[in-house]
């Protein structure tokens, strides 16, 4: 199952400059997702992180992984933000950064469902660049109805 940016925008409430998933290349409902973020020098965070040595902030790498998790959750339960639902990032555990993410990189986002119970989802996540591990984390998200 492949999703382009137009379909991704249906499943994530985020918008520029905080939408961090450009395309989904694989998705198995209730199991896993593979997506990517094309990292451009035009990203607003590079103005200050760091001007002479631009590196994508680690918290944004984790956020990109969490957004991929949200897409997988939304698609699995067949709900949309437009229906009044949101996936909150509630925990990131065992986070490890292995290499910097820089302009020109394609950040591949992978998440696998470890377990789900009553709207709480636990995912095992990896972010890679050119097959090299950039970040790994266990991410927990909570599905909630918002008014």
Using pLDDT thresholds of 50, 70 and 90, give the confidence band for residue 142: very high
CA atoms within 13 A of residue 18's CA, in its CB half-sphere: 8
Average pLDDT, the chain: 97
Beta strands in the chain (DSSP E): 23-28, 32-38, 85-97, 106-117, 120-129, 132-145
The count of other CB atoms within 10 Å of the CB of residue 140 is 18
Q: Is the pLDDT of residue 1 over 80?
A: no
Tell me the average pLDDT across 8-31: 97
Q: Is the pLDDT of residue 123 over 80?
A: yes
Domain that holds residue 110: 5-145
Q: Is the pLDDT of residue 16 over 80?
A: yes
How confident is the model over 61-79, as pLDDT tens digits?
Answer: 999 999 999 999 999 999 9
Q: How many domains does the chain have?
A: 1
Nearest Cα to 125, choosing from 100, 114, 147? 114
Which positions are annotated as active-site residues? 49
Nearest Cα to 105, choosing from 129, 131, 128, 126? 129
Give the DSSP letter of residue 83: G
Quote the pLDDT of residue 61: 98
CATH of the domain at 125: 3.10.129.10
Quote the pLDDT of residue 147: 72
CA–CA gap between residue 89 and residue 123 (Å, rounded)? 11
Using pLDDT thresholds of 50, 70 and 90, give the confidence band for residue 145: very high
Quote the pLDDT of residue 95: 98
Using pLDDT thresholds of 50, 70 and 90, give the confidence band for residue 136: very high
Tell me the average pLDDT across 6-31: 97
Tell me the average pLDDT across 102-120: 97
CA–CA gap between residue 126 and residue 118 (Å, rounded)? 24
CA–CA gap between residue 51 and residue 66 (Å, rounded)? 26
| Six token digits for residue 87 | 């996936």
């Amino acid at each position: 199952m492949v999703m382009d940016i137009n379909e991704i925008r249906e499943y994530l409430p985020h918008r520029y400059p905080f939408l961090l998933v450009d395309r989904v290349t694989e998705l198995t409902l209730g199991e896993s997702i593979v997506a990517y973020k094309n990292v451009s020098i035009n990203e607003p965070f590079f103005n200050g992180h760091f001007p002479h040595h631009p590196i994508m902030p680690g918290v944004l790498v984790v956020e990109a992984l969490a957004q991929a998790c949200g897409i997988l959750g939304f698609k699995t339960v067949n709900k949309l933000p437009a229906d009044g639902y949101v996936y909150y990032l509630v925990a990131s555990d065992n986070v490890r950064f292995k290499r910097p993410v820089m302009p020109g990189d394609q950040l591949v986002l992978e998440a696998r469902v470890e377990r789900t119970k009553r709207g709480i989802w636990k995912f095992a996540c990896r972010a890679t660049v050119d097959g090299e591990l950039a970040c790994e984390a266990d991410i927990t998200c909570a599905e909630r109805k918002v008014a």
